[in-house]
Amino acid sequence: MLEHLLQWDEKLFFFINHANLHWIDHWVPYFRHKIFWAPLYIFILSFFIWNYPRNGLIIILFAVLTVGLSDTISSRWIKKNVERLRPCNDDHLKDEVTLRIRCGGGYSFTSSHATNHAALAFFIFFLFCNHGRRRWRYLLVLWAIAVGLAQIYVGVHYPLDVLGGILVGTAVGWLSAWTFRRYFSLE
């Protein structure tokens, strides 16, 4: 069963990685870089400080702790115990991988990019689940998924790495939002 799942994962990886989307080849490496998203991060910080003057800084602290926790879980706990090679570092596959960025070291499962972006996106998503601002929350989910797909497209992660990262990030984001809502208010 696990062997079939890993074969499916490899096939889906190559389907995404070998897609001939030359019009995005130039943008995807930037798209997955944290500096590219600096305007969004600044907007999020400003939004919380401006709209929630009483608890805005606490929300920002929770957001930072959420990403820190998700990164620790992904990078230090899961990756170091699973030890799955990146597709671009696997001797059996690396010649077939279309590598659009430097491969890098470290392990593949879970994708820390996917984990961290999902954690932040779902923290905000769940934070506002019972609040008047609902529709825009789905853009954050699309953002996290797009960053995860970019990891596959550039050749550094398998789809299951990204899916695992999104699931871990979602859980951490939910837990962080739940904790915030239990002790603090958006008002």
Residue 28: inside a domain = no
Please check whether residue 179 lies inside any domain of the structure.
Answer: yes
Cα(121)–Cα(145) distance, rounded to whole angstroms? 10
Asked if residue 88 is part of any domain, the answer here is yes
Residue-by-residue DSSP string for 13-72: HHHHHT---HHHHTTHHHHTSGGGGHHHHHHHHHHHHHH-TTTHHHHHHHHHHHHHHHHI
Residue 22 lies in a domain: no
Contact 98, 149 (CB under 8 A): no
Domain that holds residue 51: 35-183
Q: pTM of the entire structure?
A: 0.90
Is residue 73 within 8 Å of residue 115, measured between CB atoms? Answer: yes
The tens-digit pLDDT sequence of the chain (187 residues) is 888 999 999 999 999 998 877 778 878 877 777 788 889 899 999 999 998 888 999 999 999 999 999 999 999 999 999 999 999 999 898 889 988 888 888 899 999 999 999 999 999 999 988 766 577 888 899 999 999 999 999 999 999 999 999 999 999 999 999 999 999 987 6
Q: How many domains, the chain?
A: 1
Q: Tell me whether residue 112 is in a domain.
A: yes
Residue 81 belongs to a domain: yes
- pLDDT score at 132: 64
Residue 27 lies in a domain: no
Q: What pLDDT, on a 0 to 100 scale, did the predictor assign at position 99? A: 87
| Residue 123 maps to a domain | yes
Tokens linked to 81: 């115990």
